[in-house]
Amino acid sequence: MIEQFAKKYGLPKYRINQFNQKYYKEYISSFDELTTWPKDLRENLKLEIPFSKLIYQSSDVSKDGGTNKVLFKTKRGNYVESVLIREKERNTVCVSCMSGCPVGCIFCATGQMGLNELLDEQQIVDQILFFARIFKKKNEKISNIVYMGMGEPLLNLKSVPRSIMTITDTEKLALSKRRVTLSTSGYVQNLRTFLGKKLGVKLAISLHAPNQKLREMLMPKVSKKNSIKELFEVLDKYTEDTNKRVTYEYVLLRDINDSVIHAKELSKLLRNRLALVNLINYNENECLPFKKSKKTKLFQKILQENGITCTVRKSYGEDIKGACGQLSVSRDEC
C-alpha cells in the first residue's frame, strides 16, 4: 500500500524505509507516530490510506489465558475473526483470509456461513499488526503465522500471496518463512499456481479422509473436483522439487473417519511420502451433528506403527470458540 502512495508523491526510497520501520517494526498505533516524516506528508497519508482496514469489535480470552480471539468488522460490515495462541516457545496468530468460507465442508462452522467477502492484503496483515501492537507493550513478539482462520487461502490468490510477502519481507514484518503455514482444503490448480510462486512457506493439507469416497462426503465441494489422486500428483512433485515435508491435517470425527481401518488406509496412502499427520480433535459445535472421536490415541498408534510421523494438535480456546473450525460469528440459532 505504501508503495503506491510513494509513487504518487514521487517519494524517495528512504521515505518508504522510514514508513516500514515505524509501521511494520515499531508497530506504531497511528500515523501521527510516523514522526520521521514531515507533518504535511503525514497528513496526506492519513487522508489517503486507512491505518487499519479492520475495525476492532470485541475480544475473548480463554479461561487459561492462552488464547485470545478477536472479532473485527470490515468496511462492508462483514465479520472477521483472528486468534492469538500463546505458548511458552511461540506466539502464533491464526489469520483469516475471508469473512466466512464458500467451501462448506460439512463439519466446519465457518463453512456453514458461506462467503461474505474476500479480504485484501492489508486486511490480512492488519490482523497480525493488531496483536503485534498489543505485544509491543508487553515486550513480546509474534513468532508464527498460520492461515487457518476463516476462509480458504487458495480461493484468495490475489491477496494471500501478497500478504505472505509482506509478512516475510525483511524490510516489513520479517518473519521466517519456516514460521508461516498455509492450510488448504486442496484446490489442485490453485495449489499449483501458489507453489509456482515459491514463497517457501510451510504447507498443510486438510485431508480428513483416507479415500476419495469419504472425502467427498466430508468436503463435497472441493473434493469432487479435486481428487485425492490429482492432489498427490501436485504434492509429490512439490516434495520432489523441494524435499519439503507436507503436513496432513486429519480431524477425527467419531464413527465417521476414526476407525482402525481408516488409520490403516491412511498409513497406506502416505507410505513412502514425506508426510506428517497432524490429528485434530474435533471441536464440537451445537449447530453441527459431529462428535469428538474417542479413538485419538489408538489412531495415532496405528499410524506410528506403520511408520507415519504423527502428532496430535493441542486444541486451544475451545471455551471461547476460538479453536479451529469454530470461527463463525455466533448466530442465535442454527
For the annotated catalytic residues, the residue numbers are 81, 324
> What values do phi and psi take at 315, rounded to 5?
-105, 135
Binding mask 240-279 for ligand SAH (x = CB under 6 A): ---------x-x----------------------------
Reading the block at residue 142, the C-alpha cell is 509474534
Q: How far is the CB of 112 from ligand SF4 (least distance, A)?
A: 8
Choose among ligand SF4, ligand SAH, none what residue 249 binds, the Cβ cut-off being 5 to 8 Å by kind. Answer: ligand SAH
Residue nearest to ligand SF4 (CB): 111
Among the listed residues 54, 83, 101, 175, the single contact to ligand SF4 using CB under 6 A: 101
> Looking at 62, 185, 247, 283, which residue binds ligand SF4 (CB under 6 A)?
185
d(CA 26, CA 108): 37
Q: Does 206 bind ligand SF4 (CB under 6 A)?
A: yes
* Contact set for ligand SAH, span 94-133 (CB under 6 A): 107-108
Among 283, 293, 300, 328, binds ligand SAH (CB under 6 A): 283
Q: Are strands 67-73 and 79-86 parallel, antiparallel or unpaired?
A: antiparallel
- Please state, in angstroms and rounded to a whole number, the distance separating the CA atoms of residues 57 and 214: 39
Residue 92 touching ligand SAH (CB under 6 A) = no
Q: Which residues pair with 71 in a beta bridge?
A: 58, 81
Per-residue b or e along 33-54, where b marks 16 or more CB atoms closer than 10 Å to that residue's CB: ebeebeeeebeebeeeeeebbb
Please tell me the count of residues contacting ligand SF4 according to CB under 6 A: 11
DSSP sequence for 102-124: SS--TT-HHHHTEEEEE--HHHH
Going by C-alpha positions, the residue among 96, 134, 92 that lies closest to residue 115 is 96
**Binding status of residue 152 toward ligand SF4 by CB under 6 A:** yes
The listed partner (ligand SF4, ligand SAH, none) that binds 258, CB under 5 to 8 Å by sort, is: none
What is the rounded distance in angstroms from the CA atom of residue 87 to the CA atom of residue 66? 7
Q: How many angstroms separate the CA atoms of 101 and 123, rounded?
A: 16
> Which of 66, 104, 161, 220 touches ligand SF4 (CB under 6 A)?
104
152 binding ligand SAH? (CB under 6 A): yes
In the β-sheet with 79-86, what is the strand arrangement from edge to edge?
55-61, 67-73, 79-86, 91-94, 144-147, 180-184, 202-206, 246-252, 275-281, 309-313
CB 81 to ligand SF4: min, Å: 12
Contact 186, 205 (CB under 8 A): yes
Stretch that binds ligand SAH, among 39-47, 177-185, 236-244, 264-272 (CB under 6 A): 177-185
105 near ligand SF4, rule: CB under 6 A: yes
Residue 155: contacted member of ligand SF4, ligand SAH, none (CB under 5 to 8 Å, by partner type) = none
All three cell numbers of 152, joined, read 480458504
Q: Which residues bind ligand SAH (CB under 6 A)?
A: 107-108, 148, 152, 183-185, 206, 249, 251, 280, 282-283, 285, 324-326
Q: Which residues bind ligand SF4 (CB under 6 A)?
A: 101, 103-105, 108, 110-111, 151-152, 185, 206
